Structure 1
Amino acid sequence: MLLVIAAAAFLLLPTSDYVETPGEADNIRNFMTVDGQRDQTKGSFRLVSVYLSPANRLDWLISRVNDTYSITPREEIQGGVSNRVYAMISEYQMKTAILSAEQVAFKAAGMADQLHTTYRGIYVASIAKNSRFAKKIRIGDTITKIDGRHFNNASGYQKYLANMPKGRMIELTVLRQGKILTYTGKTVHLANTKDKDYPKGRSGIGISLVDNVDVMTQPAVAVNVGQISGPSGGLMFSLQLYSQLTSENIKKGRNISGTGTIDDQGRVGEIGGIDKKIVAAQRAGSTVFFAPYVKPSKALAKLTGGPTNWQVAQKAQKKHAPKMVLVPVRNFQDALNYLKDGTIIKTK
């Protein structure tokens, strides 16, 4: 008996890794209102998530025989930042996914004149160890100016810094919790930035960044996703919002799931855990699943270190949801075309 108790206690001991399993496939109508009203039409667009939690030794054993369990090193998930910072970044990613979805949906609905954006600056998502600002700026800061200059997108800031010599002194204007701060420091050379435009590589301040944009719409859009975070709901948010703005019957009563980031131009990007999301969608009764599509190549596999979302999704669909229609999408329009007339892009 004592041996059994000891074995059970051992299996429940925590590890330094995370376990990823299928999460929920939530109906987005429960999260979103347009002009204070929820969608009442038949069918559903579903936001698919994964459960991510600290792994124990039992999780590790289960993952050996059950491919819906994946064990991933904490460093790979969080990128070396603390739990607090990781949560903050994930929440901001969800915010930007919603804002991008609003921009895409309003433009696609022919309502661009009822959408107003204000560019605040660049949101600091991570800081390199070699950055001369590493002990000054913080993750979550918004850089609003460099040397007194404000640009209208992240590309403007990057181009301003790109050709500066390494070690050039610059001044950052930073917005932090409502306060304006200024810091000076030197530029650094950015690794792996050589290309045809910058044959010697680019200079910068040593951060990864995303645009910080405020969006105002008429009618007003409100989204409350509770504890769900991350950027992968962008595509599905945009489809749900487009449906409500236009009153077009693009769902046609179907139970539709999908995943993928979206930018303000409607481009769909890859995400993590797509195999688990297909399982979650299947459990929720979805008959259609939108998956980000990037053409596979040896060069891409070498760069990313693994298969594309589409390749993983095909394998998972075949094993776990063979009756579900798997639809590849490169952008918002690909998804909309399928919903309207069944068009599917060629992948071969």
Structure 2
Amino acid sequence: MASMTSTLGRVNRRIVTLLAALVPILVLGVVGSVVTVPFVALGPGPTFNTLGEVEGKQVVDVEGAEVKPTSGNLNMTTVSVRDKLNIFEAIGLWIDGQHGLVPRAEVYPPGQSRDEVDKSNQQQFKDSEDSAELAAFNYLKLPTAVELANVADDGPAKDLLKKGDEIVSIDGKAVATTKDVVSAVSSTKPGTPVHIVVRRDSADQTVEVTVGARPDDSGKGYLGVTPNEISKGPVKVDFNLGEIGGPSAGLMFTLAVIDKLTTGDLSGGKFVAGTGTIDPDGKVGPIGGIQYKMIAAREAGAVTFMVPAANCNEAAQRTPEGLRLVKVENLSGAVQALQDINAGKDVPSCS
């Protein structure tokens, strides 16, 4: 009887010891799978050929001009964002080597809802499309115009110029870009009347506005208007990528428009990808997440990647094997680099 009691005692102690060991594991399992971390994971996102189609539509659809045949790829790249990660998911993504964890506040700032951030990113994407169209038009010397996006309520042009007016000329000098407006006005002495030809309701009319002084006391002329450059003429460009955010597709969109309106293939029939913001003057700007975009591009088959000059140092440190980096500062340099690659010449590199 004593022996049986002793045996039962040992069994009970083992059960208690086992339970004591299992409870923390069970608690850790529950916590790890339920509790979220204040981080988001950044990683390779989808990549799209700007020369191709998505859901039966041209990604970059050009109308009003002869569209030249194209081949190869000019892919824009994206970064994926994974939110509301539990502890196990965060650790797994960090270990896989293709993702990075950043504080959630860097992507979704405090005080802004996720919906607000997404809408802001979508607006940036729309702005990048507009800039890409203008950059391509300026490069190809296609007609552009300047339209007033706003007229200040307390500026010299109040009640004289209107939102939506197209500025045709200022004191006899033709206007085609926002720089033309800024140059003409800022070089005029405050207190001087200028004659501005505007196109309003499809008719031209001349408006006299007395130039004011800039609020910053720089001594330069001031109208109190916000000029916005727009494309003009028979050529129209539509971009057909939805659910994408941010400004970084600008460069590749621009290259696609140029490729479709000029003879020859910028890609040389090969797989080129890239990233970078662009302004109407063709300046290429830096972006975030370059390492993840390079991974996405290489996994999709890219052999050449267009890198904004300001991102070169970061890109060179984590270049996927087999991917050639091309350093890009402006649109004309990007086009020339692609043409030189096709001709077997050396091009600026990040290495």
What interval of TM-score do these two structures reach, taking the shorter chain for normalisation?
Answer: 0.5 to 0.7
Letter paired with 2:314: V
Shift of 1:12: 4.9
Q: 1:46 to 1:347 in 2, by over 3 A?
A: closer
Percent of residue pairs bearing the same amino acid type: 26
Between 244-253 and 9-18, the greater mean CA deviation after superposition: 9-18
Q: C-alpha separation between the residues in 2 aligned to 1:153 and 1:109?
A: 18
Asked if structure 2 preserves the Cα contact closer than 8 Å seen for 1:15 and 1:54, the reply is no
Alignment of 1:106 with 2:137, yes or no, is yes
Asked if structure 2 preserves the Cα contact closer than 8 Å seen for 1:334 and 1:345, the reply is no
Shift of 1:6: 6.1
Letter paired with 1:95: K
Report the equivalent of 1:45.
74
Aligned length: 260
Shift of 1:146: 5.1
Q: C-alpha separation between the residues in 2 aligned to 1:311 and 1:8?
A: 42
Asked if structure 2 preserves the Cα contact closer than 8 Å seen for 1:34 and 1:222, the reply is yes
- Stretches of structure 2 lacking an aligned partner (at least 5 in a row): 1-21, 54-58, 162-176, 187-215, 219-225
Between 237-246 and 84-93, the greater mean CA deviation after superposition: 84-93
Shift of 1:283: 0.8
Q: Deviations over 1:210-252 (max 9, x none)?
A: 9865544531111021101110000000000000111332121
Name which of 128, 143, 154 aligns with 1:147: 154
3-state SS of 1:337 partner: helix
Q: C-alpha separation between the residues in 2 aligned to 1:33 and 1:96?
A: 17
Q: C-alpha separation between the residues in 2 aligned to 1:213 and 1:14?
A: 45
Shift of 1:13: 3.1
Q: 1:148 to 1:105 in 2, by over 3 A?
A: same
Q: 1:268 to 1:59 in 2, by over 3 A?
A: farther
Between 241-250 and 37-46, the greater mean CA deviation after superposition: 37-46
Give 1 or 2 for the bigger CA radius of gyration. 2
Alignment of 1:292 with 2:308, yes or no, is yes
Letter paired with 1:253: G
Report the equivalent of 2:330.
331
Q: C-alpha separation between the residues in 1 aligned to 2:79 and 2:238?
A: 23
3-state SS of 1:14 partner: coil
Alignment of 1:62-141 (within 5 A): 62-80=92-110, 81-111=112-142, 113=143, 115-121=144-150
Q: 1:236 to 1:98 in 2, by over 3 A?
A: same
Q: C-alpha separation between the residues in 2 aligned to 1:38 and 1:24?
A: 26
Name which of 258, 266, 271 aligns with 2:287: 271
Q: 1:217 to 1:238 in 2, by over 3 A?
A: farther
Q: C-alpha separation between the residues in 2 aligned to 1:67 and 1:256?
A: 24
Name which of 8, 11, 29 aligns with 1:7: 29
Q: C-alpha separation between the residues in 2 aligned to 1:288 and 1:217?
A: 34
Alignment of 1:221-300 (within 5 A): 221-294=237-310
Give the aligned CA root-mean-square deviation in angstroms.
3.4
Asked if structure 1 preserves the Cα contact closer than 8 Å seen for 2:68 and 2:262, the reply is no
Q: What TM-score results when the alignment is normalised by the length of structure 2?
A: 0.65
Q: Deviations over 1:153-189 (max 9, x none)?
A: 6996xx99xxxxxxxxxxxxxxxxxxxxxxxxxxxxx
Asked if structure 2 preserves the Cα contact closer than 8 Å seen for 1:25 and 1:48, the reply is yes
Shift of 1:85: 2.0
Asked if structure 1 preserves the Cα contact closer than 8 Å seen for 2:77 and 2:297, the reply is yes
Asked if structure 2 preserves the Cα contact closer than 8 Å seen for 1:239 and 1:336, the reply is yes
Letter paired with 1:238: T
Q: 1:13 to 1:211 in 2, by over 3 A?
A: farther
Report the equivalent of 1:165.
none
Q: C-alpha separation between the residues in 1 aligned to 2:79 and 2:335?
A: 25
Asked if structure 2 preserves the Cα contact closer than 8 Å seen for 1:12 and 1:58, the reply is no
Shift of 1:95: 1.1
Asked if structure 2 preserves the Cα contact closer than 8 Å seen for 1:20 and 1:70, the reply is yes
3-state SS of 2:120 partner: helix
Q: 1:146 to 1:329 in 2, by over 3 A?
A: farther
Letter paired with 2:347: I
Q: What TM-score results when the alignment is normalised by the length of structure 1?
A: 0.65
Q: C-alpha separation between the residues in 1 aligned to 2:41 and 2:156?
A: 44
Q: C-alpha separation between the residues in 1 aligned to 2:35 and 2:232?
A: 48
Q: 1:229 to 1:6 in 2, by over 3 A?
A: same
Q: 1:59 to 1:292 in 2, by over 3 A?
A: farther
Q: C-alpha separation between the residues in 1 aligned to 2:115 and 2:260?
A: 35
3-state SS of 1:15 partner: coil
Q: 1:275 to 1:234 in 2, by over 3 A?
A: same
